[in-house]
């Protein structure tokens, strides 16, 4: 699979996972997201951006399940990743985790 196809596949997984989350099918959503894998150390910028969005989505999923500590651990390392213009709401998602965790 070429880089463009792999990135498109990742986007498809994100859409499918969002639909599953809306139906409260959290384990199915997680399984879908686990299907995305980068294949080497020379991945395209697009592939890396999609991987970042998937990692953020996994953090959101943990947040929805009430696993705030795990969600924070999932997302905080992403703050150090080079931003290619696609942040997918990392900041707001981290803030939401911290706010809900305090409740």
pLDDT at 2 over 90: no
Q: Model-level pTM? A: 0.78
pLDDT value at residue 81 = 64
Phi/psi at 17 (nearest 5 deg)?
-65, -40
pLDDT value at residue 3 = 86
Q: Quick check: 13 and 47 in contact, CB under 8 A?
A: no
Structure tokens at 45: 């910028």
Contact residues for 101 (Cβ-Cβ < 8 A; gap 6+): 68, 69, 72
């Amino acid at each position: 699979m070429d880089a463009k196809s792999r990135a498109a596949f990742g986007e498809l997984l994100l859409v499918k996972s969002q639909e599953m989350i809306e139906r409260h099918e959290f384990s199915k959503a997680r399984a879908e997201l686990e299907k995305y894998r980068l294949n080497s150390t020379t991945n395209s910028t697009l592939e890396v951006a999609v991987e970042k969005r998937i990692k953020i989505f996994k953090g959101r999923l943990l947040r929805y399940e009430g696993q705030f500590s795990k969600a924070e651990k999932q997302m905080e390392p992403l703050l150090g990743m080079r931003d290619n213009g696609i942040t997918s709401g990392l900041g707001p998602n981290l803030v939401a985790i911290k706010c809900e965790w305090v409740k």
